[in-house]
Amino acid sequence: QVQLVQSGAEVKKPGSSVKVSCKASGGTFSSYAISWVRQAPGQGLEWMGRIIPILGIANYAQKFQGRVTITADKSTSTAYMELSSLRSEDTAVYYCASRGVYWGQGTLVTVSS
Amino acid sequence: NFMLTQPHSVSESPGKTVTISCTRSSGSIASNYVQWYQQRPGSAPTTVIYEDNQRPSGVPDRFSGSIDSSSNSASLTISGLKTEDEADYYCQSYDSSNHWVFGGGTKLTVL
């Protein structure tokens, strides 16, 4: 059974960056894509991008191109999502997910001056 | 790109059966797997169906998924409804670049 554990809540200023981690255990980390999904308050789910750790290749939703970077560290079975040029509309809970089956617990990112 | 359209809300009584639809706007629903996620208030999503009709371990067999090419839609059926099934449900599939596409979500009320 794969478990995904994410880093804790963050409060950021507009214009800054945030980096959220997602540590996997109990499965073969490198072989399966890790996706990042966010959910703004009261809204639906929105896919941001994904990485296949064994290939080190990431691809991104067009909406976030140029502002999001997804990386993975195979040695620690951890994936990262970094979002830059933060604005208030980026306030959301950010989730990682593996294979469309396993989900992290979510990380609340609040962007406020 | 295509859209996945779900009803905004559905309601049904405990013990009954409810079906939530997810209609693909273009391209074949059968061309890419569909997942279904349950999200209770204040909680992370959990997967109840993956690859059209597979249940992760721990998900009761009251949950089932299917694909209907004639209506170009996927369906999530929950039988023997329980109050604990009250949640938001999202369908998700993939586009030609393997990017995830979500439906807008359906609020299930069990009353």
- Measured between alpha carbons, how far is A53 from B47 in angstroms, rounded to an integer? 22
- Going by C-alpha positions, the residue among A37, A39, A45 that lies closest to residue A81 is A37
User: Is the predicted pLDDT of residue A29 greater than 80, yes or no?
Assistant: no
A29: contact with B, CB 8 A cutoff: no
Chain A residue whose CA is closest to B49:
A101
Do residues B74 and B21 lie in contact, with contact meaning Cβ atoms separated by under 8 Å?
Answer: yes
A40: contact with B, CB 8 A cutoff: no
For A78, phi then psi, to 5°, come to -125, 135
- Going by C-alpha positions, the residue among B52, B73, B8, B35 that lies closest to residue A97 is B35
**pLDDT, tens only, A43-78:** 999 999 999 998 989 999 999 999 999 999 999 999
The minimum CA-CA distance between A39 and chain B, rounded to whole Å, is 10
**What 3-state DSSP class applies to B3?**
coil
**pLDDT, tens only, B26-57:** 999 999 999 999 999 999 999 999 999 999 99
Residues 48-77 of B with CB under 8 A from A: 50, 56-57
- pLDDT bucket at A1, cuts 50 / 70 / 90: confident
Please judge whether B100 and A102 are an interchain contact, meaning their C-beta atoms are less than 8 angstroms apart.
no
Chain B residue whose CA is closest to A1:
B57
Q: Where are the alpha helices (DSSP H) in chain B?
A: none
Please judge whether A44 and B104 are an interchain contact, meaning their C-beta atoms are less than 8 angstroms apart.
yes
B100: contact with A, CB 8 A cutoff: yes
Q: What does the pLDDT read at residue A26?
A: 86
A104: contact with B, CB 8 A cutoff: yes
Q: What does the pLDDT read at residue A37?
A: 98
Burial class (CB in 10 A: 0-12, 13-18, 19+), A70: buried
B28: contact with A, CB 8 A cutoff: no
Secondary structure letter of residue A86 according to DSSP: -
Residue of A47, A102, A103 lying closest to B99 (CB–CB): A47
Number of Cβ pairs closer than 8 Å across A and B?
A: 52
Q: What does the pLDDT read at residue B18?
A: 98
Please judge whether B44 and A106 are an interchain contact, meaning their C-beta atoms are less than 8 angstroms apart.
yes
